[in-house]
Amino acid sequence: MQFFEQLERSDVPRLKQLLAVFGEAFGDRATYLDAVPREAYLESFLADERCITVVAMDGDEVIGGLVAYELIKFEQERKEFYIYDLAVKEIRRRRGVATGLIVTLKAIARARGAYVIYVQADRGDDAAIALYQSLGVREDVLHFDIDPDK
């Protein structure tokens, strides 16, 4: 039986499980598992109310999750949420888990007065693009990474 929940400060073991899910799903174990932060850092992350982590659970197993950030806007008194990472274990895909994660985030965002949730998808990631198009309006934008040291 699967259920969705937002992680709290004491849920570091579940956050570590989610890091493994991300590493596997994104084919990037080095980023997500080779330098896992200290317990205190992860507790601090989970305690930050603007860092939202939602997991999909099957019993004690994390089968998927998302990390989103609440952004406070300056041009109007409003907020937006950015989904930074979202992944589901490969064996659990195509069963509504990702949609359930986003629906859970929508409830959190609505309760906090957000006016929009946005997410990026890479060209070629057809499954993610199809999911996001089923839930929202597509905007084609350019993304730039700016190195702070250069």
pLDDT of residue 123: 84
Amino acid 138: pLDDT: 78
Contact between residue 67 and residue 84 where contact means Cβ atoms under 8 Å apart: yes
Q: Give yes or no for residue 8 having a pLDDT over 80.
A: yes
In the predicted model, is pLDDT for residue 101 greater than 80? yes
Token representation of residue 50: 């603007």
Q: What are the Cα distances from residue 84, in Å, to 2, 54, 91, 126, 150?
A: 23, 12, 22, 18, 24
Q: What is the pLDDT of residue 130?
A: 76
Beta-bridge partner residues of 82: 69, 118
What's the rounded mean pLDDT across residues 103-127?
Answer: 90
Q: Between these two residues, 58 and 140, which has the higher pLDDT value? A: 58
State the chain's mean pLDDT as an integer. Answer: 91
Superfamily covering domain 2-135: Gcn5-related N-acetyltransferase (GNAT) (3.40.630.30)
> What is the per-residue pLDDT across 24-55, written as a single tens digit (0 to 9) for each?
999 999 999 999 999 999 999 999 999 999 99
Closest CA to 25 of 68, 72, 63, 78: 63
Pairing mode, strands 79-88 and 114-119 = parallel
**DSSP letter string over 43-103?**
HHHHH-TTEEEEEEEETTEEEEEEEEEEEE-SSSS-EEEEEEEEEE-GGG-SSSHHHHHHH
User: Which residues does 47 contact at the CB level (< 8 Å), separation at least 6?
Assistant: 8, 9
Asked if 88 contacts 24 with a C-beta cutoff of 8 angstroms, the reply is: no
Query: Domain limits of the chain?
Result: 2-135
Q: What is the pLDDT, as a whole number, of residue 1?
A: 60
Q: State the burial class of residue 129 (Cβ atoms within 10 Å of its Cβ: 0-12, 13-18, 19+).
A: middle
pTM (predicted TM-score): 0.89
